[in-house]
Amino acid sequence: METISSTVPLTERSYQGLSVTESAALLRRSIFVEQQCMRICAAWLLEAPAYEDKYVLGYHLWDHAEHVQWMRERLHELRGGHAEADIAPALKFALDEALHARDVTELVAGLYGGVKRALLRAYREHVRMADPAANAGEIRILQRMIPDLEKHLRWSEEILERCPTGGNVAAPWQLYLEYLLSRAGGIHGTFPVSMMPAKERPHAHMVRRSAELKFDSRIARKPLAKYEERESMPHEQSVKEQFAVFFNELWAVGLLASVIVDSWDAGCPWEFHYDMAHHCWDELRHSQFGAIRLKELGEEPSRADTFFFDQSQNWPFLHRLVYLTRDLEVFFMKRKSPRFLKYQQEGDGRSMIFADADWSDEINHVRYGTKWSEYFLKDDARTAEDIKEEIRSFIARQQAEAGVTKTDIPF
């Protein structure tokens, strides 16, 4: 029987179709690459200065999470084993390196032009080699993923086109990643791997998980009106202020992105990463609600107050998660229903649609928080209430050190 380790490459075989073992091996490597794309998108949600780029990266993060979920389910059906355990170090190295771009242009040249273009080719090749009946399960998934990757690449081409040098400055980084992938035998690892020497990196830049949520010069770090002030404003002004608060939910996106990056190597179950990716994407959509509605009302997003993100960045990711889901989101929940009803009574259908979606999403977020804090505290003498107490003492210490006292809820 020919297998993935056969001396006959899959691409040169005389018959159509893939064995269960062969297809599972291709899925394992594809899962690994898509998982690493999630991690890189999360890190760059913090790094990318333009909020529009953050939005795209957050949507792509969720695309990758869904792809991983579908492929893991199929891998399980194929009895395909552990998705990460047999990943070759050369492939891991290539994906580790893809994080370390110097800016968004280089990120899209390397991760998109290099890695995701190769992934798209690999998916098309997987479909081409598969038998329509024997491998129907994989084909269905691949044909759902291919249009997503095509969309990602179209966006990356737009980014490179808008760059004054047409992305030429980022070309060495793309070539470097393409070289690393070829050294790993390509995405599928089905090509002969030569013992090519390691290529020198085009630069020494390393991306560390940022403790700052970066913005470009359009967004000023300014306070937002407090809840009571917003409520007493005339309707249109109140709506604008409320949607400025929605736009500001980028602080929650940043907090979750930091949780995704910091929990990546902590041995968490896949379902945790999947839920965090969903939560992060939801918060990103809430920020997008703000940008959309502000523009409809004749304003551009212009303010951010990242207080909750900033003060939590040195805490363990468990504390960041509990703070968000069991403190802040529970606190803000009581504002959701009156807001929805107010917009309904004012006949403001557009604002009502966004308030409704936000309210619904938040119920899931509190659920995620309960589920995962209980999971992480299973063999821990502390309860979630104890973690909240620890958070209070962190905040008190931080404020004492900085010589400031700031309200817990600034908007």
| Residues making contact with Fe ion (CB under 5 A) | 249, 283, 286, 329, 362, 365
Given a contact cutoff of 8 angstroms between Cβ atoms, the answer to whether 329 and 369 are in contact is yes
Minimum CB separation of residue 324 from Fe ion in Å reads 7
Return the residue matching tokens 């190295």. Answer: 93
Nearer to Fe ion, 249 or 275 (CB): 249
Cβ–Cβ < 8 Å for 156, 113: yes
303: helix, coil or strand? Answer: strand
Q: In which residue are the tokens 């979630």 written?
A: 384
| Residue 79, CA distances (Å) to 2, 20, 72 in order | 18, 9, 10
Q: Closest separation between CB of residue 329 and Fe ion, Å?
A: 5
Q: Helices 235-247 and 349-376: crossing angle, nearest 10°?
A: 30
**With respect to Fe ion, which residue has the nearer C-beta, 148 or 241?**
241
Residues 342, 356: Cα–Cα separation, whole Å = 11
- Residue 78 near residue 20 (C-beta atoms within 8 A): yes
Smallest distance, Å, CB 394 to Fe ion?
A: 21
Least separation in angstroms between CB 112 and Fe ion: 28
The half-sphere exposure of 146 on its side-chain side, counting CA atoms within 13 A, is 14
d(CA 348, CA 371): 35
Closest CB to Fe ion among residues 22, 283: 283
Nearest-approach distance from CB 358 to Fe ion, in angstroms: 6
Cβ at position 361, least distance to Fe ion in Å? 6
CA dihedral 71, 73, 74, 79 (to 10 degrees): 120
**Closer to Fe ion at the Cβ: 37 or 352?**
352
CB nearer Fe ion, residue 25 or residue 213:
213
In sign, the C-alpha dihedral spanning 321, 323, 328, 329 is: positive
- Minimum distance of Fe ion from residue 323's CB (angstroms): 12
Nearer to Fe ion, 148 or 283 (CB): 283
Closer residue to Fe ion in complex, CB, 138/283: 283
Token code pair at residue 136: 């129907």
Tell me how far apart the terminal alpha carbons of the chain are, to the nearest angstrom: 65
Min dist CB 368 to Fe ion, Å, is: 9
Task: Give 255 or 318: the residue with its C-beta nearer to Fe ion.
Answer: 255
Reported residue count of the chain is 411
